Amino acid sequence: MAVLELSSEDSLRLNVLVMNVEAVRIDERNMTVYGLSTRGEAKVPLNPTGRDEQYLKAVREFLSTAALGSPSGYPVHLNRWTRMGQARDTNLAKLLMLGEPEAITAVVCAPGLTDDLARRAWWADPSSENARRMLASECVMQGAMGPILAEHLVEHLPFETEARLIIESVRLVLQPGLVSDAVRLKLWEKGAAQGSYRIGFLQAEPDS
């Protein structure tokens, strides 16, 4: 099967995009590539020259070549590193230019995660799972992103159905300086009807 080539327009616009952004996100449904820059969000609507799936593969190969010098993307054999936090710290910023979920996960789990990298990763994939992963980092917890991630987890707690995730979220948001006393009180009161909240408190403040 012949590899699709990017349209000349997409190639030009993507070249400009990757030179001016610090993270990339791919919206497959709308066939659009987004980039985060210091001036805000940029986007490149794609003009496929073939089937969407094949064209997105060509886009990812382009992004990988631009960021890592190789079209192979975040190597499959490195996927097992994702949740072990073993991605090389020096490559973390480059991984956020791939538009690949596994690469984002590698960044948020890495020991070298910084508050600024957390900001970029959060833009690329603002999920509760990533918020929990990043709040486990003391650097991020104490940085500007800490309260932002905690606010997200608090807002989404009512939609969590697994006890372990509720416990973990509560434990993480109760770290010093992340939520107000009013929010802490509301979480405690919810524990009267849902024990998982109280367990989160016990894990966060075992001596209280």
Closest CA to 141 of 176, 183, 107: 176
110 and 8, same domain (yes or no): yes
In the DSSP assignment, the letter for residue 22 is S
* CA nearest to 114, candidates 85, 73, 143: 143
**Contact call for residues 20 and 33 (beta carbons, < 8 A):** no
Residue 157 in this model has a pLDDT that exceeds 80: yes
80 and 144, same domain (yes or no): no
Give the per-residue pLDDT at 82.
Answer: 47
pLDDT, residue 69, reads: 83
Instruction: Mark whether 132 and 120 lie in a shared domain.
Output: no
Residue 144's SS3 state is: coil
**Residue 68: its pLDDT value, please?**
83
Same domain, 101 and 30: yes
Q: Write the pLDDT tens digit of every residue in 15-44.
A: 999 999 999 999 999 999 999 999 999 999
Whether residues 90 and 50 fall in one domain: yes
Last residue of a domain, one of 79, 98, 125: 125
Tokens of 81: 């590193």
Torsion of CA 77, 165, 99, 51, to 10 degrees: 90
- What is the distance between the alpha carbons of residues 33 and 102, in angstroms, rounded to a whole number? 17
Q: Closest by alpha carbon to 179, among 133, 147, 205? A: 147
Question: Considering 125, 146, 166, which residue would you say is the last residue of a domain?
Answer: 125
How many whole angstroms separate alpha carbon 147 and alpha carbon 140? Answer: 9
The pLDDT value given to residue 88: 59
Q: Do 32 and 120 have their domain in common?
A: yes
Q: Name the domain count of the chain.
A: 2
Q: End of a domain among 100, 125, 150? A: 125
Strands of the chain, DSSP E: 23-27, 32-37, 40-45
**Per-residue pLDDT reduced to its tens digit, 124-137:** 999 999 999 999 99
Q: What does the DSSP 8-state code read for residue 3?
A: P
Neighbours of 54 (CB within 10 A): 15
> What is this structure's pTM?
0.88
* Residue 87: pLDDT over 60: no
- Whether pLDDT at 91 is above 90: no
Q: Amino acid identity of 120?
A: R
120: tokens are: 């970029």
Residues 144, 173 within the same domain: yes
Tokens of 176: 């010093």
- Domain hosting 66: range is 1-125
Say what the pLDDT of residue 26 is: 98
